[in-house]
Amino acid sequence: MINCRGSKCLVPFSVALTQPSDPVNFYFTRITQPLRAKMDLATNPVLKSFLAGSFSGTCSTILFQPLDLIKTRVQNNASKSSNHKAIAVFRQVLRTERVVGLWRGVTPSITRTVPGVGLYFGSLHWLQSVTGETKPSSPLSAVCLGAAARTVAAAAMIPVTVVKARFESGQYNYQRMSHAFSSIYTREGVRGLCLGLAPTVVRDAPFSGLYLMFYTQLKHHLPTEDTKDRSSLANFSCGLVAGFLASTVTHPADVVKTKMQLHPSLYSSVRVTVFKVMTLSGPRGFLVGLAPRMLRRTLMAALAWTVYEEIMKNMGLK
């Protein structure tokens, strides 16, 4: 209670202690402190997920880049069976560009994959927190979570995806990524930087949704003792099987995406591309490049998820 006598007020000692000496700074701190806490790396699980995913994506991208390059070139010249073609492309690259040629386009691949994988895992962790589905309760929820998180990442990184595909094809004489971006924008406008967005989302969203579904379901059916004792091996094994199944289902969309990004004048839309591939190569045309892509995506996803799970476990988020 505060007693006033004339112009002076007597403030109890306990009340005086609670009054801030600088009210403006006090209330500013009260408002901004929760925001700083959310953005603090040490306490923010979404940022931790982003960094863990980015690191795992870096390792897998550098290691398996040659398979992506071979897949792109096989799809760019589809005539023979994909397996023989992949071997022929591999030999040709070694003969004309040497071993280093197998890593052509690794810079745009890293530029796309590192933040892309980080965005995927960060978005996935955020969606799981918002929906309360830390461990997907059903196959359908796993598909929806994986597809939604991948859609965000795929849409954000589509300009880099276009540049990456053209670097790997060997048909464009881009010197640097900045040269590629400026050249595409000058000649084709913003649309050129977004070529293949629809088939990219159609390919990546179902892939991630199916992958997460297969991955979580396979882990769920593993014996608990084996999972605890050999968690890394169990994660990698589940990742291999999940990647194989998801890659096979979504490969036709990858063929359409590559055609549209490499030859926009010939393949101007999804409908036109599907019609031309079917006319020129028949149903088998949608399976061109399956072997190198399936091998790359399977190994890459398995490695990325294994590294991610181990990092998150060491951070105390698993």
Determine contact, residues 137/44, Cβ cutoff 8 Å: no
* 5 beta partners: 8
Domains of the chain: 46-213+234-313 (1.50.40.10)
Question: What is the average pLDDT score of the chain?
Answer: 80
What is the rounded distance in angstroms from the CA atom of residue 246 to the CA atom of residue 296? 12
DSSP string, 141-161: HHHHHHHHHHHHHHHHTHHHH
What is the rounded distance in angstroms from the CA atom of residue 143 to the CA atom of residue 207? 9
Helix (H, G, I), strand (E, B) or coil at 265: coil
Summarize the confidence of residues 1-5 as an average pLDDT. Answer: 53
Determine contact, residues 9/3, Cβ cutoff 8 Å: yes
Q: Which residues contact 194 (CB under 8 A, 6 or more apart)?
A: 158, 159, 162
More confident residue, 146 or 297: 146
247-304 pLDDT, tens digit per residue, is: 888 899 889 988 898 888 889 899 999 999 999 889 988 988 888 888 888 888 888 8
Q: What is the pLDDT of residue 82?
A: 47
180-221 pLDDT, tens digit per residue, is: 899 999 999 999 999 889 888 988 898 899 999 988 888 887
Question: If you count DSSP H runs as helices and E runs as strands, how many of each does the chain have, helices first?
Answer: 13, 2
Helix (H, G, I), strand (E, B) or coil at 20: coil
Summarize the confidence of residues 61-86 as an average pLDDT. Answer: 75
For the cut 50, the answer to whether the pLDDT of residue 15 exceeds it is: no
Strands (E), the chain: 3-5, 8-10
Q: Which residues contact 270 (CB under 8 A, 6 or more apart)?
A: 198, 199, 256, 260
81-104 pLDDT, tens digit per residue, is: 444 578 888 898 899 988 988 888
Determine contact, residues 138/129, Cβ cutoff 8 Å: no
Confidence category of residue 110, pLDDT binned at 50, 70, 90? confident
CA atoms within 13 A on the CB side of 257: 26
DSSP state of 239: H
Q: Kindly state the tokens that stand for 228.
A: 């605890």
In order of 10, 16, 19, 287, the CA distances from 13 in angstroms are 9, 5, 10, 80
Q: Kindly state the tokens that stand for 270.
A: 């999804």
What is the rounded distance in angstroms from the CA atom of residue 210 to the CA atom of residue 189? 34
Radius of gyration of the CA atoms of the chain, in A: 26
Summarize the confidence of residues 6-17 as an average pLDDT. Answer: 50
Percentage, residues of the chain above pLDDT 70: 81
Residue 94's CB: how many other CB atoms inside 10 A?
A: 12
For the cut 90, the answer to whether the pLDDT of residue 139 exceeds it is: no
- Give CA angle at 44 (234, 219), nearest 5°: 15
What is the rounded distance in angstroms from the CA atom of residue 180 to the CA atom of residue 195? 14
Determine contact, residues 44/287, Cβ cutoff 8 Å: no
Confidence category of residue 170, pLDDT binned at 50, 70, 90? confident
